[in-house]
Structure 1
Amino acid sequence: MVKKIVFTGGGSAGHVTPNLALIDRLKDQWEITYIGSKNGIEKDLVQAHGITYRAISSGKLRRYFDMKNFKDPFKVLAGVMQAYLILKKIRPDVIFSKGGFVSVPVVIGGWLNRIPVYIHESDITPGLANRIAVRFATKLFVTFEEAAATLSKDKVVYTGAPIRDALFEGKKEKGLQFLGFQVNKPVLLIMGGSLGAKKINEEVRASLTELLKNYQIVHLCGKGNVDPELEGTQGYRQYEYVDQELPDVMASASIILSRAGSNAIFEFLALKKPMILVPLPLRTSRGDQILNAESFKKKGFCEVLDNDSLTAEELQKTIAEVYRNRYDYIDRMVAAQGATHGIKNILEQITK
């Protein structure tokens, strides 16, 4: 009999991409269903993979006052009932949750149906959704070793990060060809997330003349952030985002400047790319990127710059230092590759 698994998670690409990495490994042997929200980013990403998608009601869990806080608990309760009925009909062998608000009703629905539920947390400290969901979970898998030390030892399993297979298939030559770059000049890859990073974009563009003396630059600047005046600049390519060509673009990069989202930085680690991280500041986040970046710096994988005090001069100096010492960073990354074996470790847990 074919085994069945239900995946859930949504609200951002970071809650979906690791699920897709696991789905690619299981889709030939398991019957897979994905439960997500009606209009979340996860719907398009999952359906593009040809996976059966079931939508449920989902309310946002907020730490701050908002009039929607009075309505959303009812949406969550509706989502629990919908998930319960979907799961009762499917009767999967296991549920895997990557987090996000839509996952809470699915995890509770699985618990009510007595289905084993496994959760994965990317950051050092769990987000609110996973802090609620872990009460109903069988196991909580974590990406950072530091997370395992602060959470319930009877449920936590350190697995590392699930890295998608496609990432390792990137070819440097194809990336340079796509970008129209030379072979003999290093490539600086700048990534600010799907919405871009305003501060990073500003300081990179303020530094462009100086940086282009030593690097070719591919700048993934986020939706609506392409600067028309810079189109055609020699050695500089800017895109809102890159999809299918991203593994090749990443393979072509000598160093990377990025935010500090967990999925992204573990991908850089897996590819052994020296990095400069500019985490989201506390005033716009719960501080998870700051902890992620501090952990990587302590292990010698990166340098960290403060978003609010970042200047063009500091940026140029740090990029130069990281590039000059790039082989030291790479040596430390080679020694830490066990942290990127998440897919293997997770599959051993959920398929045994």
Structure 2
Amino acid sequence: MKKIVLTGGGTAGHVTPNIALMPELKKEGYEIFYIGSHNGIERKLIEEYKIPYYGISSGKLRRYFDLKNFTDPFRVVKGLFDAKKLMKQLKPDVVFSKGGFVSVPVVMAAKKCGIPAIIHESDMTPGLANKLAIPSAYKVCCNFPETVQYLPEGKAVLTGSPIRKELFEGNRLNGLDFCHFSINRPVILIIGGSLGSVAINNAVRHILPDLLKKYQVIHLCGKGNLDPSLEHVEGYVQFEYIKKELSDLMDAADIVISRAGANAICELLALKKPAILIPLPAASSRGDQILNAQSFKKQGFSYLLKEEDMTDESLMQAIEYVFGHKSEYIEAMGKSPMNDAISVIINLINEAAESKAGKR
């Protein structure tokens, strides 16, 4: 049986694409192992899938001053020894990494042990962890055509992001019923990320009376962000977080308002959902969401509204524009070469595993 090690952690975005690959990897006959940090979010997410999980020492390399900067390099070095020991123990044919700092020693150890490693970079420009791992990689998968220029020649493959199969299994009528909505009025879905977005939450609620004249609104507002005064407003529902019913709510949505995290917007692309993207401002991030949103706007997939330009009027105009041009956005997304990321990545994994077998 072929063996594969999956790695990635630190945030859910560094884990869920790995989870999306698992059913197809099993069909292809791979025995799957996961290497993550001892106590990161990845451990909790992976354990429910009954995949053997191995924790290694992990540290974060920061661009800012922190006392942990003096101790974390030693954790990284220990992580490299841990990962190398696991490579010799598990003897995988290939490694697939979704990034995060825990993945760096795993990819480096794979290279030292002669095991091909494939990296997936979600954002437009590689983050620090992937920058460190790329020299040890066999191939680098990416989501944006513009990313290719930042990667070594011959390594970059435009794949898109693996999307969980269950997201494609939504039922519009079930979603409308769950929200007690009418089938005769269009639906806007607002997604502010797992923690929600205060700026988006406030902006949407401020124009809610005008929105509800035409639209119904599903608002995923993040933990602690429910507004009790809006509990029984007809045509509006709010949830801190939705897991099981998310695919139904996605299917019910005519348009989506979202941040511009790479995994989130790749899901919108795969589901062909016209969207207004409101990226995190550069002051709150390394600017990757702005670049992501600009790329999707350029490709005709989404409408870009910068947070600093967001007013009641500009948000209403964006909603009206996207709703009026829905079919054009859907047509552009339908032509994207990144609609079959899982198949493309599985083919790369098989190719890498065969290249290792050929060297034996």
TM-score w.r.t. length of structure 2: 0.94
**Equivalence for 1:7:** 6
Q: Give the drift of 1:323.
A: 0.6
- Aligned length in residues: 350
For the pair 1:321 / 2:309, whether they are aligned, the reply is no
1:344 matched to which residue of 2?
343
| Equivalent in the alignment of 1:302 | 302
Structure 1 residues 59-138: aligned runs within 5 Å: 59-138=59-138
Q: C-alpha distance in 2, partners of 1:117/1:330?
A: 35
**C-alpha contact 1:162 1:340 (8 A) present in aligned 2:** no
SS at match of 2:202: helix
CA distance in 2, matches of 1:156, 1:116: 15
Tell me, in whole angstroms, the C-alpha distance in 2 between the residues paired with 1:333 and 1:195.
27
State the distance in 1 between where 2:175 and 2:222 align.
19
Between 1:150-159 and 1:319-328, the stretch displaced more is: 150-159
Give yes or no for contact 1:118–1:137 (8 Å, CA) kept in 2.
yes
Aligned match of 2:280: 280
Q: Secondary structure at the match of 2:307?
A: coil
In 2, distance between residues paired with 1:204 and 1:197?
Answer: 11
- Offset of residue 309 of structure 1: 3.3
- Aligned identity (percent) is 54
How far apart are the structure 1 equivalents of 2:107 and 2:55?
14
Distance 1:267 1:304 in 2: 17
In 2: Cα distance, 1:60 partner to 1:122 partner: 19
State the superposition RMSD in angstroms: 1.2
Q: Which residue of 2 aligns with 1:22?
A: 21
Gaps of 5+ in 1: none
1:123-179: CA deviation from partner (whole Å, max 9, x where unpaired): 111111000001111111111111113321122222222222222111111111112
User: How do residues 145-184 of structure 1 correspond to structure 2 at under 5 angstroms?
Assistant: 145-184=145-184
Task: Report the TM-score, using the length of structure 1 for normalisation.
Answer: 0.97
- Report if aligned partners of 1:21, 1:163 keep a CA contact under 8 Å in 2: yes
Question: How much has 1:65 moved relative to structure 2?
Answer: 1.4
Instruction: Work out the CA distance in 1 between the residues paired with 2:234 and 2:57.
Output: 49
Q: Distance in 2 between matches of 1:108 and 1:222?
A: 36
- 1:14 Cα deviation after fit: 1.1
Report how far residue 313 of structure 1 moved: 2.1
In the alignment, the residues of structure 1 paired with residue 130 and residue 146 of structure 2 have an alpha-carbon distance, to the nearest angstrom, of 17
Q: Distance in 1 between matches of 2:220 and 2:23?
A: 26
Q: How far did 1:222 drift?
A: 1.1
Residue 244 of structure 2 corresponds to which residue in structure 1? 244
Whether the 8 Å CA contact 1:192–1:222 is kept in 2: the answer is yes
* C-alpha displacement of 1:27: 2.5
Paired with 1:263 and 1:303, the residues of 2 have a C-alpha distance of: 17
Q: Deviations over 1:14-51 (max 9, x none)?
A: 11111111112113421111111122211111112221
Counting only pairs closer than 5 Å after superposition, residues 26-45 of structure 1 correspond to structure 2 as 26-28=25-27, 29-45=29-45
Instruction: Name stretches of at least 5 consecutive residues in structure 2 with no aligned partner.
Output: 352-360
Matches for 1:203-222 after TM superposition, within 5 Å: 203-222=203-222
- C-alpha distance in 2 between matches for 1:44 and 1:180: 33
Work out the CA distance in 1 between the residues paired with 2:338 and 2:157.
Answer: 13
